[in-house]
Structure 1
Amino acid sequence: MLVDILEVRSDWRRSRAHLAHHIITEFSDWVASHHPQGKALPCDWELQARAIRLLSSSQGSTMDPFIHMYQLETADRQHLISAVKGLQKKDRYQEAAHLAKKMHLQPYLNFRELCTPLLLQDKLNVVEGYVSNSPELQQELVRLLDSWCHPDFNLGNLLQQYPGLQQVKHERMHPKSLSKFVTRLLDTYKIDSELCPNVKQYRALGAMKFLFYQKYGEKAMDDENWNDHISVAVGNNPWLQEQLVMMLCSYRDVTAAARWARRLKMPHDRLPSAVLWILSNQRQEDGSEEEESAMAYSSREDCYQLPVPLDQVIFIDNLADLEMHLPAMLQPGCTLGVDMEWRPSFGVLSQPRVALVQVARRDRVLLLDLPRLSEEEEEESGRQPGQRRLARATNVEPRAHDETAQLQASCSGRCEAKNSVAEEGRLLGLMRRLFSSGDVLKLGYDVGGDIQYLLTSYPMLKPALQQSSRVLDIAVLQKQVERLLSAQPVAGGSGAEVARGATATRTTEERGLSLLVLQTLGKALDKRQQLSEWERRPLTTAQLLYAASDAYCLLEVYDGLLQKAKAAKLSVNLEKCMVGKKVQKPRHSDPAPDDERLWKKIGTEVPATLPAANLTRPPESCSREPMSVRNFAVVCDSMLQGLGRYLRCLGVDVHILENIEEHRKAAEIARAERRVILTCGLPYQTLRSQVGEDCCYFVDCKEKAKDQAKAVLRHFNVQVTPSDIFSRCKVCNGNRYMKISGADMARVAVTRRELLRATAGQDDPEPGYGVVLGDDLADEAQGCVEPGGVRWSPTVAPTQDFAGKSWRGVVALPGPEKTMSRASESWSSRTPRYYPACFVDNQELDANTASFADGTALLAEAIPPGVLETVQLFYCCVTCGKVFWEGSHFSRILSQFADVLSTESDTSTFYES
């Protein structure tokens, strides 16, 4: 009977609100209650065929009840395949994929025909569910996405195969987005990266661009290291070799292009004419550059010099030497500097491992060749050298309670640990003594990140790293000393200025540890070897000197910081600088500090990305001087667009990167426009090295965008007043507005609709034309009102890139002369101060074209008619044309950010005039 009803009625195909849909739901519940344990009503093949025909035209929400009620799992397979193909012909690919998965029809369907439209619509979760139980389809998905990363791939040709496809996400088809998705799939499905050569080629090209920027832009790499990394990136790929030569020519280094063309033995028909001319007239031998690079390194007397002789820098690549030298370094009361080096990945798919661990004492430095030591450990334990890395690639983290039990067992006492050294392996035993010794102080700069990365590279060292003791982070100590010094009034300047001294004029060129060494010891580190090939053996003399200096300088910096604190009669708490020490939580319910959470991860879950422990966030009671919003400008990467829009709501000057823009673009913008970078995840390490720690902030992705905005304001001590709220356009970051009365706006709206009808040849567009605002602010759009008790969320038309039109400064927008609602009623009525340059004259609006002087259209058609009749005054962004008016969203923002708003200097709002 149910099938008879549905075949007659058609309303059940459109919405859940109709009677037929309720009948299906109730009948399904009745079947489930009267036929428990998975039993269903008996039905013949004819009834199943009728149900399948209905299923092909039904909504996705009714699919599961139909499958259960009519036992479609046992239906004829050809009927089910025909139903799936029928859904495909109707462009209902999501329902087709869902039905195929439920009926286990994947082997009988064309994967690319079904899943390509879903990928174009950015429905990745549907495709992942479709291939979840099939390794063959998982590999096919990776191959498909990899083919879209080929340099000759044409998206337009692909879209011609699907003329009726709607909501295509063109920006998600960029190789940058595709390569990230492929990388995640490789890690999730444990697929060999050799299956995606185009993604590897695209990543290698990105690595080459970064290397070119480091050498020719930043001038931060010498020729020797640059040549090593370029050789690895290019490999034997003819296309990359050709790109290398062309890029060298674009940087006007034709001589180097000719040298590389000769070294790579490239065919002459693939070379530019300028390179061919040099090859025919010059014969230069390779190798002279390496000698010049080594001479240049040793002659830099203006940089920090290693105080111990080179013969006291001991390279250890076997366990016997390690057992002989390391115990002598662990005498009670000793202080050691610990650092680590690894080959830079430059975004390639394979993650490099820690290649070198440096341990420095006052009279010598040990350099531990950890890859060779770990291989020897595996050989002794009866495993083949390559098995550990394979096990690491397929490793599944144990459950939390299992790890807790292991941690409790490993902490049973130092005596048991010593007795088990022979059983657990010599390397693990020695590393346990190094990191867990309570009699030896270990110093490191952002050492928490190094420890996490060491654990990711060598999981067998987990028991040793879990018991780490007395590991002090120099970066945290530096912040503590500077905070105490800045709190003390010093004649001739603040304590922080005196602490930096005469070297402040040079600090703009240095970053991280090198900057700290310059401030403390007067000479910066020579960081040219930082990006060298650390897995190359043997290491060069320049690499040995750099590695030893990087660890030894920690000892002298530690002494310098303590002497500085002692001279100022400051009390430094070293326990707060220890990695893994629990810090008492503040009264509010903010999450634990990043370093504490990181240390907990060492015992539970370790992410497979670059270390993030050095992103420790300072406490909210920051010692920075209060800063007005008008003096604060940031650049957000593409992963923090929600945060960027929240900050714009509070009046912050925010440049948000587009999804297709590279992360290095943030560093270029930050340096050119003096902005602070807000980022998260892997890019933080690179960006911080380019702009400095003070100009790069790590955002916790686990927090909501609203809480992220509060954390940023507290960290930089930015003072936000009620008059700052909505002083910037959330869409384009503009801060120049035009005030238009309700009557004038109604006339402009009529003009705009007439122009749209004339150009598009269609009926009057509906209110809300454009793109709906995304993220968690969509339901709280700035102009929302509640006419008749119904909330309306406005939409805006797509806009172009307005990065070049952004204006500095803060504006407080005056509004209609009416009483503020709810929370805004409590604010004072004192008139705020305005900046005349932020307002434009109404004469700049062309009434005939409904656009501003620069051609930007005023998006008046997005205003609902009910709003035009009730609102007396509108505010129009002259940069993008978005229209604002007073609504309930203002009071919600006041309430949400009440704990970070400052009302001491200005209690007015931008609606008060």
Structure 2
Amino acid sequence: MDSQSQKKPFKVHLVSSTDSPEFTLFTRSLTQSPIVGLDAEWKPVRTHQSSFPDVSLLQIACQLGGDSEPDSAVFLLDLLSIPLSSLWEPLREMLESPETLKLGFRFKQDLIYLSSTFCSHGCKPGFDKVEPYLDITSLYNLLYHKKHGRNAPKQTKSLSNICVEVLGFPLSKELQCSDWSCRPLTEEQITYAAMDAHCLVEIFNVFNSKVANTGDFLLETTKLSNANPNVGLKELFAKHDLNDNVLGMQFCEALSIVQATTSSDAGRVTPSAERTIQKSPCSVNAPSDVFLKVVQKYGDKILLKESDKRPKTSKKKAKKRSSTNGINNVNHLEKFDEWQGIPPWDPSVGGDGYPKFLCDVMVEGLAKHLRCVGMDAAIPYSKKPEPRELIEQARREQRVLLTRDAKLLRYEYLITNQIYKVKSLLKNEQLVEVIEAFQLKISEDQLMSRCTKCNGRFIQKPLSTEEAIEAAKGFQKIPNCLFNKNIEFWQCMDCHQLYWEGTQYHNAIQKFIDVCKLSD
């Protein structure tokens, strides 16, 4: 989306050594920021292991007050490179400081892993408490209740869905399960990690504007940098003049891009970032009355108990999973490691010749990617389907069930060509894996030929602008900027969603050309 805004994007600083300018900037910012957003990343691990995983990256978003608008920066602390003893004291003071409001999204698990990481590297215990603390889930519910009334039920939302409703864009979770212990980090990983922390502060800004302000007080150091609180980060950062390394991050399944800058190259801090710290007038040593009121009214805390610090293991479950009907479970699952048999859509076994898949809840993102390349990819009828429901749906609709759930593979009534276990973690890699496993032929003409929302096909003839306006009445809003452009509209025959060939469409086409290597 085009924007004429001249707002500055937030800075991203990768901190990998204690003698770097970034580390000095980080420690100074930590004492001057009344609000911080916290998140952590670690290498994906198996459940029920004997020890907690080591945190590889700690993200801290700082927001410093200014005269007219705040300056934001995200510090990515590389815990694999920095001596943890040098971080222990400043982090502990920040986590317990009554003058610093900490923001997180279900941060207790992160804190448990963080505490374990520091202790396992020779640091004394200390990361047992975060106070004052505000969970983004609580903020969302406060915003939701303000909009829908106090009797509205509490909502359980992912951070990405909260971002959609509050900021106007979803967070891409494609890199959530990537190996965060590998170095160097990719630009995509850096951007992903920075956005996860920065969005916490932006969500608080909206909360502060719409909820806290109704109590006749507003946290002055966290005024919305945008005059319109309804405009999300996608609009704020879409078209900024960026002078440093530009990092891209996919939103809406690669259909829009948010840009951020990093000043970590060659261990150098940009002069603009240095000026940001020098001009900041606020100090945690003198919190304002309005800040104390916000903390007093909405603040919470995280306290770790001794039981939280011990990994949870389940010998009973492990024993139960070890065999099924006397058959060794490992051997039983091995036959699904590679695709066996012919697909159920093959005409020789009664199929109609068209590839069809059913993606369970663990690979729903893969379903959208398959739809983007023209494949028929359904999802379960219910949000929490029973295994028999999934298998019956796959059998009835002659689909191959795609999953990452190893438990599904042990059901004896599955046939070998009805289920395929996806090995890859990232959606792009999953898509390539399925294309290769089933030898699917993808052409450029197939791209974006199905509805990514419901899996339906588009009408055969495109709509004119006038026809699209009529079709969208009471259903979907078409941006006014499209009315004077000679573009074609397409409508899904099933859910009636309208699509048009704009910038997002062309970006998506190019993405899947690259992923599927159609230009080779």
Which has a greater percent of strand? 2
* TM-score bracket relative to the smaller structure: 0.3 to 0.5
Which has a greater percent of helix? 1
TM-score by length of 2: 0.42
TM-score by length of 1: 0.26
**Max Rg structure:** 1
RCO higher in structure (CA 8 A, sep ≥6) = 2
